[in-house]
Amino acid sequence: MSLEKTFDEINETDIRLLIENQISERKNIEYKLTLPENKYDSKKEFLADVSSFANTMGGHLIYGIKEENGIPIEVSGISNNDFDSEILRLENLLRDGIQPRVQGISMRAVSTESGRLVLIIRVPQSWSKPHVVSFQGHWRFYARNSAGKYPLDVMELKSAFLSTTALSERIRNFHFDRLSKIGSDETPVSLEGKARIIFHLVPYSAFESNSPSSPLLTDNDIWSLPLIYSSVTGYRYNLDGLIVHGDRTDNLSGAYTQFFRNGIIESVSASLFSSRNHESYIPSIVLEEKLIATLESCLALYPKLSIYPPLVLLVSLIGVKGYKLAVSQSLDIWRQHTHLIDRDLLLLPEVVIEDMIIDSAKLLRPIFDAVWNSAGWVKSYGYDDSGEWGKGFNFRR
């Protein structure tokens, strides 16, 4: 189909090919002559259309096309007077009328030779389904088949919710399997030492049976893959996807990041940890700073690869029994809370990311608090009393 291309590259020729080839309405495409009106029934219909695509396999809503019996016959177009405000209106309607929000929806106005516009809305298959239309008293789940949208029945809803639960289990099983391998030195790059911080960012889409093909990484993407407390000095492809690594000494590396074929990012660092006077330390400031930077780099990369939330962030520390948390000595209380970590493996709270636009420091706070708890502290002191990161006593000199 002519629309199966990079969204920004779709043009009038692609629209006219739909008519020339008589591409009928189906499970993943629907034609509309006019934009949704500011009326209850019209808005409800629009929300049902979008949610039905998201709850099934994704697809395209195309406005400005005249059809007969589901077959497109004419590019009628829509007046382009204040078209930007119309797109904004529809975006606001989607934000407020579908729960949870559908991530990754794209809207594009395509110019025609008549001067009128065709609006294409690309709706991705959602990985946080089922989505419900919740609009002015209307509360219903929709899906699609070859005949169009339809309301889900009780058994279909149960199946949708159970599939989400099964997906969560698969993500956790992947995480535990990787922890076991990393802890046993079954890593794609040989690492120095035994203490490691392990960062996993897992898109829900990675474990769907019909997950997308391997994302294509450009040279810029490869060199921008984050390493925790290290710089990328080389990369290579492997069976799992692509790996970047830091400097090597005696054939040992301080850090690597594995980009899996299904979009999972695994970043592991052994160089973050330090020892002095026969004691081993985890640098609290650097740990928090580097994890924030790593998360932000990943979230900047994913949209380029058409990978969208929900995502699960899982952070763990292994080999850290007997370590201390290095904190600022700017307050007298620091000595009272400097305790040795009492276990080798710290499984930190998992965090679900539902939007690409986030405050990374705020999102990571449960993870940072847990690290400080493991060393005897009540919370992370990287935050001030207002909850802003970077202004707590731990950052004072």
Secondary structure of residue 387 in the 3-state scheme = coil
Secondary structure of residue 67 in the 3-state scheme = strand
Tell me which residue of 139, 123, 147 sits closest to 70, measured CA to CA: 147
User: Residue 309's Cα: distance from chain center in Å?
Assistant: 3
Secondary structure of residue 242 in the 3-state scheme = strand
Secondary structure of residue 395 in the 3-state scheme = helix
User: Per the structure block, which two tokens stand in for 145?
Assistant: 């088949």
What is the C-alpha to C-alpha distance for residues 162 and 53, in angstroms, rounded to an integer?
A: 19
Tell me which residue of 69, 57, 61 sits closest to 27, measured CA to CA: 57
Secondary structure of residue 94 in the 3-state scheme = helix
Tokens 């204040």, residue? 82
DSSP 94-136: HHHHEESPPTT-EEEEEE-TTS-EEEEEEEPPPSSPPPEEEET
CATH number of 7-152: 3.30.950.30
DSSP 166-219: HHHHHHHHHHHHHHHHHHTT--SS-BSSS-EEEEEEEEGGGGSTTPPPPPPPPH
What is the C-alpha to C-alpha distance for residues 298 and 200, in angstroms, rounded to an integer?
A: 10
Strand partners, 99: 132
- pLDDT, residue 102, reads 87
User: Per the structure block, which two tokens stand in for 114?
Assistant: 């008549």
117-143 pLDDT, tens digit each = 999 999 988 877 789 999 998 999 999
What is the C-alpha to C-alpha distance for residues 364 and 379, in angstroms, rounded to an integer?
A: 13
Dihedral sign (CA 284, 285, 287, 291): positive
Q: Where do the domains of the chain lie? A: 7-152, 166-395
Give me the phi and psi of 325, to 5 degrees please. Answer: -95, 120
- pLDDT, residue 210, reads 54
Tokens 């949708």, residue? 160
Tokens 């699609």, residue? 144
What is the C-alpha to C-alpha distance for residues 262 and 346, in angstroms, rounded to an integer?
A: 26
Q: Which residues of the chain have pLDDT under 70?
A: 1-2, 162-165, 208-214, 248-249, 277, 328-338, 392-397
51-66 pLDDT, tens digit each = 999 998 889 999 999 9
